[in-house]
Amino acid sequence: MSTQPTLSRVDRPKSHEAFARAKAVIPGGVNSPARAFGGVGGEPIFMARGEGAYLIDLDGNRYLDLIGSWGPLILGHAHPKVVAAAMEAAQTGASFGAPCERESELAEMVVEAVPSIEMVRMTSSGTEAAMSAIRVARGATGRNRIVKFAGCYHGHVDALLVSAGSGALTLGVPNSPGVPEGCTRDTLVLRYNDVQQLEDVFRVHGDSIACVMLEPVVGNMGLVIPTLEFRKALRELTRKYGALLIYDEVMTGFRLSYGGAQKLFNDEPDMTALGKIIGGGYPVGAYGGRQDIMKQVMPAGPVYQAGTLSGNPVAMAAGIATLTELRNHAPYTRLDQLTRKLCEGLSAAATDADIPHQINRVGSMWTLFFTPVEVNDLDSAKTSDTARFSRFFWGMMDRGFYLPCSQFEAAFVSAVTTEAEIDQLLIAAREVFSSGI
Ligand SMILES: *Cc1c(COP(=O)(O)O)cnc(C)c1O
């Protein structure tokens, strides 16, 4: 991958040095490709610390953070209660390799919050959660085929690295080398929001489909919203043919409501993958669902799944503290209003500058697409002017607003963001738009 020249007008010498050092020992200088700025050119910015709604880079520049570590930090950086809980846990042992009560406490909170989840297993990442949910679905149904949707990202699971979103999409690597054909042979990739195609596939393959997995609101091709008709068809067809419906709520869980997208929509999937927010910024994933399905998981049942650091006490403590704060001081209504103001303001500013655009938003998740076309699947998302996005991105970055470094990612607003900060962002955006991007 060639590095495009940067569009930034700000020098960040310490970041530049840090990146050179990292590149010598870490592939591409990053431990996850979505951070590499591949979609916008230039070099990633190295962070020194996070403070509430802000990130501070090595050179001392402050940014209003509109990513929140790609979703987990709904309470902002270093929330005092989350820090205190994690420190207290760390002081009494980083990991036991034996059960501890915090695991049940977080599991109880998840079961209480998400109506379709009766039992839950903790993992250390969203990838593991999605991968394990599929294994259990296959084990429980005795079937092999799985259905996914183009543009949805479920972590770097072999069988799901077909038309995947997020870093895989930005980098234009729909199929990664190293994933043998055999791994994706049973994966059917359909168009998001396409009811007809879903019906056709079930008519032909229905009896061999173990599960359908989707992001119930997509963040990983930029924000895409499912139609009511699509959600209904998913539930009806999977029930009719005995396939399991799996909602990947790694990003939307505890983000769109305390019980995730399914609570907001009043949907009832058979299984759910979680991650991000439930770890409060620490490495946690989880998958859960109906008891009869989850009792297939070893040692209750025959489907193997394990993890040395699964249910890690420090990560559990951070997750419990985060969910407790979200439960007791639900920020969702305020976040919805704040993010609406942000999106309406951006849209007005883009319109005034004659810039064709679409803004998709649910709650505090949003994407500004630079396209005149309504965006409801991967093909329409890809009509976006990514060169214009890059200019917008760097214009905002240089003014202290840290947005996702790709057109095909969702942005987030955190609960510690103020209305005054949104006003400042809108002033900056007007400046960038009128500078002739
Ligand atoms: C982030 C994400 C994953 C992967 O989670 P990791 O913790 O990065 O492994 C899976 N599914 C969705 C919807 C995600 O947004």
Q: How far is CA 25 from the centre of its chain?
A: 27
Which of these ranges, 36-45, 277-286, 395-404, has the smallest mean pLDDT? 36-45
Q: What is the CA radius of gyration of the chain?
A: 21
Residue 130 Cβ inside 6 Å of ligand 1? The answer reads yes
- Check whether 2 has a pLDDT greater than 50: no
234: Cα within 13 Å, side-chain hemisphere: 28
**Catalytic: which of 63, 194, 263, 276?**
276
User: What confidence score (pLDDT) does residue 167 get?
Assistant: 65
Burial class (CB in 10 A: 0-12, 13-18, 19+), 285: buried
14 is catalytic: no
Pick the catalytic residue from 248, 267, 270, 377. Answer: 248
One-letter amino acid of 253: G
Q: What is the per-residue pLDDT across 277-330, written as a single tens digit (0 to 9) for each? A: 999 999 999 999 999 999 999 999 999 999 999 999 999 999 999 999 999 999
Q: Give 288's strand partners.
A: 120, 272
Give the mutation target among 132, 224, 251 for probing the ligand 1 site: most ligand atoms within 8 A of CB: 251
How many other CB atoms sit within 10 Å of the CB of residue 201? 18
Report, as an integer, the average pLDDT of 86-115: 97
Q: Is 366 left (phi over 0), alpha (psi -120 to 50) or beta?
A: beta
pLDDT of residue 163: 72
- Mean pLDDT along residues 427-437: 95
Known catalytic membership, residue 276: yes
Domain pair 4-74+331-434 / 80-328, same fold: no
pLDDT of residue 261: 98
Q: Which two tokens stand for residue 110?
A: 């998840």
Lowest mean pLDDT across 125-139, 155-169, 213-227, 351-365: 155-169
Going by CA atoms, what residue is nearest to atom 6 of ligand 1?
A: 126
pLDDT of residue 172: 45
Mean per-residue pLDDT for 32-59? 95
Residue 408, pLDDT score: 97
Atom in ligand 1 nearest the alpha carbon of residue 252: 13
Tell me, using a 6 A CB cutoff, whether residue 102 lines ligand 1: no
Is the per-residue pLDDT at 1 higher than 70?
A: no
Chain mean pLDDT for the chain: 95
In angstroms, what is the span from residue 157 Cα to ligand 1's centroid?
A: 10
Over the stretch 181-195, which tens digit does the pLDDT of each residue have?
788 889 999 999 999
Mean pLDDT within 410-423 = 98
Amino acid identity of 14?
K
Q: What pLDDT is recorded for position 193?
A: 98
Nearest-CA residue for atom 11 of ligand 1: 154
CATH code for residues 4-74+331-434: 3.90.1150.10
Atom of ligand 1 nearest to the CA of 166: 15
Please report which confidence band the pLDDT of residue 423 belongs to, taking 50, 70 and 90 as the band edges: very high
275 Cβ closer than 6 Å to some ligand 1 atom: yes
Structural domain boundaries of the chain? 4-74+331-434, 80-328
Q: What pTM value is reported for the model?
A: 0.96
Pick the CATH number of 80-328 from 3.40.640.10, 3.30.1510.10, 3.40.50.2020, 3.20.20.450: 3.40.640.10
Give me the residue label for tokens 């007005």. Answer: 348
Q: Which pLDDT score, from 0 to 100, does residue 175 have?
A: 64
Q: How far is the CA of 240 from the centre of ligand 1 (A)?
A: 29
pLDDT above 70 covers a percentage of the chain that reads 96
pLDDT at 377 over 60: yes
Instruction: Tell whether the model's pLDDT for residue 111 goes beyond 90.
Output: yes
Query: Is 248 a known active-site residue?
Result: yes
Structural contact between residues 425 and 341, judged by C-beta atoms closer than 8 angstroms: no
Residue 173 has pLDDT above 80, yes or no: no
